[in-house]
Structure 1
Amino acid sequence: MTHKTLIKVRGYHLDVYQHVNNARYLEFLEEARWSYLEDHGDVAWFAEQKLAWVIVNININYRDAATMGHTLEVQTRFSKIGSKSAVIHQAIYIAGTDKLVADADITFVCLDQKTGKAVPIVGELKSRLEHHIAN
């Protein structure tokens, strides 16, 4: 299941070269992940379970420049569920085009908020995450 989030490029997103600063793409990706999780009820579920998502790795490719006034479409989907971690793939396009601006694979673990330790992805947690791949 691919979730789409639109983000308008503003002046404060730009660097001295008048294109989106590389660090801002990480913020765009994070905004889209939060939107995805909110839209699917995962924020509340994880809070109830006292679990937190912790990013352990981000691999990002910068493909093209986005500039002032562009609207970006961030596509977010789960791509892999392992026994200890999972991967979300995200791609940023200029909205309404096939122009890929950046893409990234984000690996995360689920942390028990009481112990501060990563938990294995099993049982109900695994089912919940696998649901995102299946749909």
Structure 2
Amino acid sequence: MQHKTLIKVRGYHLDIYQHVNNARYLEFLEEARWSYLEDHGDIVWFAEQKLAWVIVNININYREAATVGHSLEIQTHFSKVGSKSAVIHQAIYIAGTNKLVADADITFVCLDQKTGKAAVIEGMLKQRLEQYIST
């Protein structure tokens, strides 16, 4: 299930070269993940289960510069659910075009807040995450 988030590039997102600074893309991606969680009711569900998402790896590819005034469309979806971790794929496009600005694979674990350890992804948790997988 694909989720879309729009973000407008502002002047404070730019670096000295007048394009979006690489660190800002991480913030854009995080904003899109929060939006995804909110829209699917997962924030409440995970809090009730005493589970927290903990990012363990981010691989990002920067493909094209974005500049002030661009509207960016961030597409977010689950691409893999394993027994201890899951992967979310995100792609950032100039809105209304096929121009890919950046894409990333974010690996996370579900931290059991009671034990402080990664939870095994099984049962209802696995079902909850797998329902969002798309290619």
The residue number in structure 2 matching 1:10 is: 10
The residue number in structure 2 matching 1:78 is: 78
- Aligned-pair distance for 1:133? 1.4
The residue number in structure 1 matching 2:20 is: 20
Structure 2 counterparts to residues 50-65 of structure 1, below 5 A: 50-65=50-65
TM-score normalised by L of structure 1:
0.98
Letter of the aligned partner of 2:54 in structure 1?
V
> How many residue pairs are counted as aligned between the two chains?
135
Partners of 2:111 and 2:53 lie apart in 1 by: 6
- SS of residue paired to 2:74: strand
Unaligned runs of 5+ in 2: none
- Aligned-pair distance for 1:9? 0.2
Q: Deviations over 1:43-100 (max 9, x none)?
A: 0000000000000000000000000000000000000000100000000000000000
- Aligned-pair distance for 1:117? 0.6
Partners of 1:69 and 1:105 lie apart in 2 by: 26
Q: Deviations over 1:32-53 (max 9, x none)?
A: 0000010000000000000000
Partners of 1:115 and 1:89 lie apart in 2 by: 28
Q: Deviations over 1:4-56 (max 9, x none)?
A: 00000001100000000000000000000000010000000000000000000
Partners of 1:12 and 1:133 lie apart in 2 by: 34
Partners of 1:124 and 1:100 lie apart in 2 by: 35
- SS of residue paired to 1:77: strand
- SS of residue paired to 2:118: coil
Unaligned runs of 5+ in 1: none
Partners of 1:22 and 1:89 lie apart in 2 by: 18
The residue number in structure 1 matching 2:121 is: 121
Partners of 1:113 and 1:10 lie apart in 2 by: 36
Runs of 4+ in 1 over 2 A off after TM superposition: none
- SS of residue paired to 2:117: coil
- SS of residue paired to 2:19: coil
**For the aligned residues, what is the CA RMSD?**
1.1
Percent of pairs with identical residues: 86
The residue number in structure 1 matching 2:100 is: 100
